[in-house]
Amino acid sequence: MNLFNDKLHKGKEGLKKFSRRAQEKVLQKLGTHVGTNDPRFDDTINRVERLDKNLHTMYNAMNDYILSMEQMQLASVRMASTFESLLKEVS
């Protein structure tokens, strides 16, 4: 349990550091703060933005897939109903 608490603490510290850097970045863009160059942070920001874009694309594709599956299920029900009606007429 102590190992879990240590990792949780490190994670919280990392988030605080990331938050401070993000706040500094926003202030730099607003022109109220002197800019610094942190390539590692910039790389992290770029990776997060790419991940966000990819996840958004995946989310849209998943929604399209779910809608398609629902439409296929409805079409299958209609087809079965039509086939059943046809069989009743023939009998």
Helix axes 39-90, 2-30, angle to 10 degrees: 100
Write out pLDDT tens, residues 67-81.
999 999 999 999 999
Do 47 and 87 lie in a common domain? yes
pLDDT per position as a tens digit, 24-46: 777 777 777 666 677 888 898 89
Q: Are residues 90 and 49 in the same domain?
A: yes
Tokens of 33: 């703060």
Query: Length of the chain in residues, anyone?
Result: 91
Do 82 and 48 fall into the same domain? yes
The pTM (predicted TM-score) of the whole model is: 0.51
Q: What are phi and psi of 37, to 5 degrees?
A: -110, 120
Mean pLDDT (whole number) for 75-91: 93
Shared domain for 88 and 57, answered yes or no, is yes
32 lies in the same domain as 44: no
Amino acid at 59: Y
Instruction: Report d(CA 15, CA 20) in Å as an integer.
Output: 9
51 and 86 fall within a common domain: yes
Q: Quote the pLDDT of residue 41.
A: 80
The number of folded domains in the chain is: 2
Contact status, residue 38 vs residue 21, Cβ threshold 8 Å? yes
